[in-house]
Amino acid sequence: MKVLITAAWASSRRGHRKFVLEGHRPVIYARRRDERLIADVLDRVEIELGDITDAERLTDVLKKHAITHIVHAAVT
């Protein structure tokens, strides 16, 4: 399983850790990079910058990482 998490950094930080602890290397997809809340697992995640409304960029990231599952945690 390869999971992409749309990042609302504060609300999804437990999700990042859950996947890491289960042995996955999740891809965090966010508009900005904020490593403060995931510093302890930073070396076990991938971070891709982009906006969920940018279909072309999102599609590129999904293909690049062969994503099979998406956790939508982004908020507006």
Question: For 20-67, what is each residue's pLDDT tens digit?
Answer: 999 999 999 999 888 888 888 899 999 999 999 999 999 999 999 999
Strands of 27-30's sheet in order across: 46-49, 27-30, 3-6, 69-72
Model pTM score:
0.86
Query: pLDDT at position 38, please?
Result: 84
Query: pLDDT at position 33, please?
Result: 87
**Cα–Cα distance, 2 to 66 (Å, whole number):** 7
Query: pLDDT at position 7, please?
Result: 75
Would you place residue 11 in the very low, low, confident or very high pLDDT band (cuts 50, 70, 90)?
A: low
Please compute, for residue 56, the number of CA atoms within 13 A of its CA located in the half-sphere on the CB side.
0
